[in-house]
Amino acid sequence: MKINKVRDKNHNQSSPNPHNKVRGVLMKKILGKKFFQLLKGIGQIAQRESLTAYLVGGPVRDLLLGMQQNGTYGGKDLDIVVSAGREITKNTAINLAKELFQIWSPHPPAGEAGQKEVKFRVHQHFGTATILFPGLQIDFAFSRKEKYAYPGALPEVAPGNIEDDLYRRDFTINSLAMELNPDNFGELLDLTGGENDLKKGLIHVLHRKSFLDDPTRILRAARFAGRYNFQIEKKTLVWLKEAIKKNVFSTISRERFREEMITILKEKNFVSCINLLSSWGGLDFLSPSIHWETIQTSNFKLQTFGGDWLVNLLLLIKNLNYMQSEDVARRMVLTREERKVILETKKHLPKVLQALRKNYPLDYIYRYFTLLPEQGIIHLEVSNPRWENIIATFHRRKNKARAVINGENLKKLGFKPGPIYKKILERIYQEKIVGNLPINLPKKKIKEKEIKFVTKHFALA
Ligand code: ATP
């Protein structure tokens, strides 16, 4: 692809550059005072150490988008790459981050919490460091170049210059850097036409082998296109589809697939991302039995669901049976807990749906609901608006269903401490959900009813 000319960085550094100044003012407006001061601070210390610090990748993209849309910076974390005219080592970024931490820790920048809250982490092996403020993370890395030994392999990394660092990235819109040193503060380094693609709303890879080198970029393309409502650039789309046809996902580890897939499922607009993936045949690797188009048109309104990615995964595999879902759980290397949420839902949902469809008595239905994990119930709620009210009532009851009596009360009733306590309290919880015990009376009355229930249904050992 055509590479845009790198801006002339040898401008007269003693006279202020009007272009930078405009950017500086705009940047402050978009970023807000806090981010602006942090970035200025990083640049000042880098310059003192004869290094060059850049804000790179996502934050630059979101900053420029904020400028275009006259909005505010939506991102939270800042990615900093440290470079130098001379040779750099793996420790270059770590040392700069350490110095900043020593300055910021006793005197946190404006808007940041007190010193105990500032944390520092080093990942020696990767040559990276992180400064953590509550709610804000700043990652530091040295500028690097990458080589792929074979398609899908993890890249071999070596120190490089900032240009190398930008050419190793996924899309033009993510390969932008903004200098932070005071002499050139705000200067944009755009080697691949990223700013232009941002304006046009295009997802554009840097070379034709990009998806073969790293197939997770297919998922990332869906994520950014879905999130910003961008188009996939023409050639990029051809290469992307070719890669999917070659079954490239099989060349990467399941863990890497899992990570990017979960990131998609956490996207606010995950439906749009999945629409794209589905239209490219990109869901077949997860399971060839997923019929996403059918799911969205027939069963749930096109809308975005915030919250739990497991709820979104349940929606994605809505038409799969238990065994097919087990396969998905394997492909996505779900943890035991996550697997349980998916499979328990798959196991019990058919019974719940049958009870709902056949208008079984409410207490019967609620008893079934209690078999479902929380995510399974939310899944039912968002994918079957028809039963919204029943589920909402169930939720209300569930929130108030904790037993009022406790271990002390059971002891007084003559029960010996042991597993029976848990059993009794759990039973009260269930009976309150299904409506056999009250939840809306004064506490004293509820307690009386619970005690009466226990003496009637549980025998003393
Ligand atoms: P988000 O707003 O979702 O955090 P981000 O662009 O910051 O988006 P990250 O996954 O944190 O996303 O990646 C940070 C940067 O690292 C990207 O902007 C991109 O430049 C680069 N990057 C991440 N993953 C890849 C990849 N698979 N191939 C090439 N570059 C990548």
* CATH classification of the domain holding 101: 3.30.460.10
The fraction of the chain above a pLDDT of 70, given in percent, is: 87
Alpha-helical regions (H) of 105-214 = 162-167, 194-200, 210-213
pLDDT at 177 over 50: yes
Query: 264: which residues sit within 8 A by CB, 6+ positions away?
Result: 219, 222, 223, 226, 270, 273, 274, 277
Question: Among the listed ranges 19-33, 179-193, 297-311, 323-337, which one has the minimum average pLDDT value?
Answer: 297-311
Give pLDDT, residue 398: 83
Task: Select from 173, 200, 227 the last residue of a domain.
Answer: 200
Question: In this predicted model, which residue has the larger pLDDT, 47 or 24?
Answer: 47
Q: What is the rounded distance in angstroms from the CA atom of residue 100 to the CA atom of residue 54?
A: 15
User: Does 315 map to a domain?
Assistant: no
Mutate-to-test residue for ligand 1 from 73, 174, 190, 214, highest number of ligand atoms within 8 A of CB: 174
Q: Are 206 and 236 within 8 A, CB to CB?
A: no
Q: What is the rounded distance in angstroms from the CA atom of residue 210 to the CA atom of residue 226?
A: 20
Q: What is the rounded distance in angstroms from the CA atom of residue 53 to the CA atom of residue 100?
A: 12
Give pLDDT, residue 13: 38
- Measuring from atom 12 of ligand 1, which residue has the nearest CA? 58
Mutate-to-test residue for ligand 1 from 157, 170, 255, highest number of ligand atoms within 8 A of CB: 170
The domain tally of the chain equals 2
- Condensed to tens digits (0 to 9), the pLDDT of residues 179-223 reads 999 999 989 999 999 999 999 999 999 999 999 999 999 999 999
Task: Select from 146, 170, 200 the last residue of a domain.
Answer: 200
User: Does 119 map to a domain?
Assistant: yes
The single-letter DSSP state of residue 205 is B
User: Does 104 map to a domain?
Assistant: yes
Residue 70: HSE in the Cβ half-sphere, 13 Å Cα cutoff:
0
Paired tokens of 103: 């300055």
Give pLDDT, residue 297: 52
- Distance in Å, CA 104 to ligand 1 centroid: 26
pLDDT at 336 over 80: yes
Q: What is the pTM of this model?
A: 0.85
User: Does 26 map to a domain?
Assistant: yes
Query: 278: which residues sit within 8 A by CB, 6+ positions away?
Result: 290, 292, 293
User: Does 386 map to a domain?
Assistant: no
User: Does 136 map to a domain?
Assistant: yes
Rounded mean pLDDT, 48-77: 82
DSSP string, 41-75: HHHHHHHHTT-EEEEESHHHHHHHHHHHTT-----
User: Does 317 map to a domain?
Assistant: no
| β-strands 78-83, 52-56 pairing | antiparallel
pLDDT at 148 over 90: no
Q: Which ligand 1 atom is the nearest neighbour of the CA of 59?
A: 7
**Which band of pLDDT confidence, cut at 50, 70 and 90, is reported for residue 4?**
very low
- Measuring from atom 30 of ligand 1, which residue has the nearest CA? 169
- Measuring from atom 8 of ligand 1, which residue has the nearest CA? 58
Give pLDDT, residue 18: 45
User: Does 264 map to a domain?
Assistant: no
Q: Which residue range(s) make up the domain with 113?
A: 18-200
Task: Select from 143, 178, 200 the last residue of a domain.
Answer: 200
